[in-house]
Amino acid sequence: MLPRISHWVGGAAVAGASGRTAPVHNPATGLLTGEVDLASASEVGTAVAAAKAAAAEWRGASLSKRSSVLFAFRELLHRGAGELAEIITAEHGKVLGDAHGEIARGLENVEYACGVPQLLKGGFSEQASTGVDVYSIRQPLGVVAGVTPFNFPVMVPLWMCANAIACGNAFVLKPSEKDPSASLLLARLWREAGLPDGVFSVVQGDKEAVDALLAHRDVAAVSFVGSTPIAKHIYETGTANGKRVQALGGAKNHMVVLPDADIDVAADAAVSAAYGSAGERCMAVSVVVAVGDVGDEIVEAISARIPRLRIGDGADGGSDMGPLISAQHRDRVAGYVDAGERDGATVVVDGRPGKSGQRTPEQGFFLATTLLDHVTPEMSVYADEIFGPVLSVVRVRTYDEALDLVNGNEYGNGAVIFTRDGGAARRFQFEAEAGMIGINVPIPVPVAYYSFGGWRSSLFGDTHMYGPEGVNFYTRGKVVTSRWPDPATSRVDLGFPTTR
């Protein structure tokens, strides 16, 4: 019988009762490996009720108690990293080394949240008025929910839950139904770390569960990471229902290569950032913008590196790149390459099944790496987020044309520049319209003590995720104005209070 991947409510695994499930595959073999429960609205309600009861207690836990749970969770994550990575690879398909990288970047957020006593320090103004002191505090929201994508089944939940829990909230996770098992190991580790039951819950599910969270009156805030159309839906529905929402969407990240760039460094970076995790990263580089006469050289340097990449099962230590998440997604990505070719792009390296000279396993949802040259902005392969191992090269004459492309794009997640000219890099940092900028760094995911987020259709809402903005998102401010009674100065005064 197939393993059943269930919910986690009130500190224990709870089998689904909706009668609806979804299949879970190992993308490297194409085989069915499990069935995940899909929660009904009433099951979501049960999870939220348990979370609400737990939140009432957890907000009273001292900062040192919360911090000690976070430290214990960090240790357990370190120890459990091997098991967690295997689960990620088995359901997502990324290679084990990449899965470990995802866990390490998630761990950073746990480490940041360990400092919660420092993070929640408020301000204090003694004698703001005569005998009056004013101070600010930040308090948790109550029950907060996180809805996460398939491509980072551990890191993205940790972006959210570490700060949410450290700040005194109860957190309900709705993971992707495509790779749901890692969420349950996280839940067990939280319990082992001493987190009270109900403070971290998991509801498995699809749109029905998400919409139930968005409608539930006891869910105060929703953090979302996923594709742009769903991010927009989450933001609009959640805010219409009075919730605080941060919804991160898709991306189309440009890498501008100036003529003075070190071509080998730029090509190494382009190959790593375009084909790592088979391009299924929101910070993947999907467009190289070759400026001036750098086009031929960079295309040649990238193509020279591609044959060295080994494509195979992520669980096999020899693989550099694994499969895509599903057969349907693989076919969609291949369809974009067809469209690019029809539209006049040059297919320099072809990763499509039957056309690729690259070796890929016969089973599983594999697509080899693809490099397209002479791509233009009207082509769908340029305009749309593809989310696969397809890198497009657009050739432009000047830096200004490159900047126009970056700033004219629908998305604004990351944008990077490769150059040895400090002035050009400084100008790009100032002018590029994206939330995260890389200067000779191809995947500029901020460290956990900054915050992560894009501009335009890459983010709906006012706050970026994790770091200081995450702490603000999961707390609300309160300002206390206080005076100890002094009969000598007390009198009736109907005027508006002013300082004196």
**Bridge partner list, 437:** 415
Does the protein bind ligand NAD through residue 25 (CB under 6 A)?
A: no
Helix/strand/coil for 276: helix
Does the protein bind ligand NAD through residue 320 (CB under 6 A)?
A: no
Does the protein bind ligand NAD through residue 28 (CB under 6 A)?
A: no
Does the protein bind ligand NAD through residue 277 (CB under 6 A)?
A: no
Structure tokens at 280: 């299924």
> Which window, 116-124, 147-155, 160-168, 367-375, contacts ligand NAD (CB under 6 A)?
147-155
Q: Which is nearer to ligand NAD, 149 or 312 (CB)?
A: 149
Q: Which is nearer to ligand NAD, 95 or 210 (CB)?
A: 210
Residue 158 beta carbon to ligand NAD: minimum distance, rounded to whole angstroms: 13
Please choose, from the candidates 176, 250, 245, the residue with its C-alpha nearest in 3D space to the C-alpha of residue 214. 245
**Bridge partner list, 234:** none
Residues 280, 329: Cα–Cα separation, whole Å: 11
Q: Which of 46, 148, 169, 463 binds ligand NAD (CB under 6 A)?
A: 148
Structure tokens at 124: 């204090």
Q: Which is nearer to ligand NAD, 173 or 258 (CB)?
A: 173
Residue nearest to ligand NAD (CB): 226
| Range 401-440, binding ligand NAD (CB under 6 A) | 413
The answer to whether 38 and 199 have CB atoms below 8 angstroms apart is no
For the chain, first and last CA: distance in Å?
76
Q: Which is nearer to ligand NAD, 153 or 168 (CB)?
A: 153
User: Which residues, 6 or more positions from 71, have their beta carbon under 8 angstroms from its beta carbon?
Assistant: 114
Does the protein bind ligand NAD through residue 387 (CB under 6 A)?
A: yes
The answer to whether 118 and 468 have CB atoms below 8 angstroms apart is no
Does the protein bind ligand NAD through residue 227 (CB under 6 A)?
A: yes
Residue 344 beta carbon to ligand NAD: minimum distance, rounded to whole angstroms: 26
Does the protein bind ligand NAD through residue 150 (CB under 6 A)?
A: yes
Helix/strand/coil for 126: strand
| Range 237-256, binding ligand NAD (CB under 6 A) | 248-251
Residues 102, 418: Cα–Cα separation, whole Å: 25
CA torsion sign for 378, 382, 384, 386 is positive
> Which window, 172-180, 300-308, 348-356, 492-500, contacts ligand NAD (CB under 6 A)?
172-180
User: Which residues, 6 or more positions from 164, have their beta carbon under 8 angstroms from its beta carbon?
Assistant: 144, 146, 171, 223, 470, 474
The answer to whether 331 and 294 have CB atoms below 8 angstroms apart is no
282 is catalytic: yes
Spell out the alpha helix ranges (H) of 6-145: 41-58, 63-92, 96-114, 116-119
Q: Which is nearer to ligand NAD, 114 or 161 (CB)?
A: 161
DSSP of 481-493: EEE---GGG----
Structure tokens at 459: 């983010």
Does the protein bind ligand NAD through residue 385 (CB under 6 A)?
A: yes
> Which window, 24-32, 69-77, 150-158, 188-196, contacts ligand NAD (CB under 6 A)?
150-158
Does the protein bind ligand NAD through residue 219 (CB under 6 A)?
A: no
Q: Which is nearer to ligand NAD, 112 or 152 (CB)?
A: 152
Which residues are part of the catalytic machinery? 282
> Residues in the site for ligand NAD, rule: CB under 6 A?
147-152, 174, 176-177, 206-207, 210, 225-227, 230, 233, 248-251, 282, 385, 387, 413, 454, 458
